[in-house]
């Protein structure tokens, strides 16, 4: 009963969809086969390209003037720069500034992809970060860099991060496995947090938006339609906040993990 309600609601709201998860579907735009691997340009890939184009052109052209007194657009770019730079500096330290371009790229990429998913275009809107494949790849990239850089700078001593300091040796057999599990769970939590936030938010939005159409079509029930509308408006604001916040959380957690690689055992 509930499912049909939801299905019906999305049909009424969007006119073409079938369910609240319809928006997550990956549609092929240009089929490409690369050495037997499916590399087709999909709506996901297209959204990534759009994000790439938007980020680059905004940051590049807004700072074209290199004005000493920044223009409005230039100050947005500078604020983004300073914001991530200070986040890296505070969490990783001055030595961590070599990772600033990486953290900045991760942040701006996730941020723009999250926000692009909040712009409603019927039949098109897609949130790249609502796919675990994307978020997991980014998280694995971060963890790989942490491990490779950690081993490169500290050698085998990097594994000292699994040995908590100031703990009675008797407890170590218990604590070391816990530390290892917590380290391994980092990429999982990093990727699932972003993925689940985007997914759940968009599903909730879609469901509540669907109720509006359903109620409007339900005779006297139309009087109740403003309720889900108000909720949808509130949820939209919340989702914009979540989109920004999750991008920031991703960047901060990346910094915290990188800090282990830079500073070694704690």
3-state class (DSSP) for residue 38 = strand
What residues numbered 148-187 form the site for another protein, per CB under 8 A?
Answer: none
Rounded Cα gap, residues 260 and 266, in angstroms:
8
Rounded Cα gap, residues 27 and 41, in angstroms:
9
Which of residues 31 and 177 has its CB atom nearest to another protein in the complex?
31
Instruction: Convert 9-51 into a string of H (helix), E (strand) and C (coil).
Output: HHHHHHCCCCCCCHHHCCCEEECCEECCEECCEEHHHHHHHHH
In angstroms, what is the minimal distance from the CB of 189 to another protein?
Answer: 17
Rounded Cα gap, residues 5 and 215, in angstroms:
10
Rounded Cα gap, residues 248 and 110, in angstroms:
9
Q: For residue 21, state whether it binds another protein (rule: CB under 8 A).
A: yes
Q: For residue 8, state whether it binds another protein (rule: CB under 8 A).
A: no
Which of residues 18 and 95 has its CB atom nearest to another protein in the complex?
18
Output phi, psi for 30, to 5 deg. -130, 115
Q: For residue 215, state whether it binds another protein (rule: CB under 8 A).
A: no
Which of residues 88 and 118 has its CB atom nearest to another protein in the complex?
88
Residues in contact with another protein by the rule CB under 8 A: 16, 18-19, 21-22, 24-29, 31-34, 37-45, 48-49, 51-52, 55-56, 59-60, 63, 66-68, 70, 74, 77-78, 81-82, 100-102, 104-105, 108-109, 123-124, 130-134, 137-138, 141, 195, 199
């Amino acid at each position: 009963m509930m499912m049909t309600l939801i299905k019906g609601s999305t049909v009424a709201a969007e006119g073409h969809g079938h369910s609240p998860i319809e928006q997550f579907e990956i549609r092929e735009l240009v089929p490409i086969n690369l050495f037997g691997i499916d590399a087709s340009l999909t709506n996901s890939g297209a959204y990534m390209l759009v994000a790439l184009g938007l980020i680059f052109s905004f940051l590049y052209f807004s700072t074209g003037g290199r004005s000493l007194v920044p223009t409005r657009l230039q100050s947005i770019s500078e604020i983004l720069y300073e914001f991530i730079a200070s986040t890296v500096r505070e969490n990783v330290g001055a030595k961590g500034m070599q990772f600033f371009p990486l953290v900045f790229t991760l942040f701006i990429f996730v941020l723009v992809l999250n926000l692009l998913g909040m712009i409603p275009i019927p039949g098109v809107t897609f949130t790249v970060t609502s796919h675990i494949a994307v978020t997991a790849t980014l998280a694995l990239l971060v963890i790989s860099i942490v491990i490779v850089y950690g081993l490169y700078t500290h050698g085998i001593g990097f594994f000292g991060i699994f040995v908590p300091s100031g703990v009675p040796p008797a407890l170590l057999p218990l604590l070391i496995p816990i530390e290892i599990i917590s380290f391994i769970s980092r990429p999982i939590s990093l990727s699932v947090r972003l993925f689940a936030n985007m997914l759940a938010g968009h599903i909730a939005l879609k469901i509540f938006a669907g109720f509006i159409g359903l109620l409007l079509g339900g005779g006297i029930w139309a009087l109740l339609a403003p309720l889900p509308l108000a909720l949808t408006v509130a949820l939209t604001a919340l989702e914009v906040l979540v989109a920004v916040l999750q991008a920031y959380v991703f960047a901060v957690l990346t910094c915290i993990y990188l800090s282990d690689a830079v500073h070694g055992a704690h």
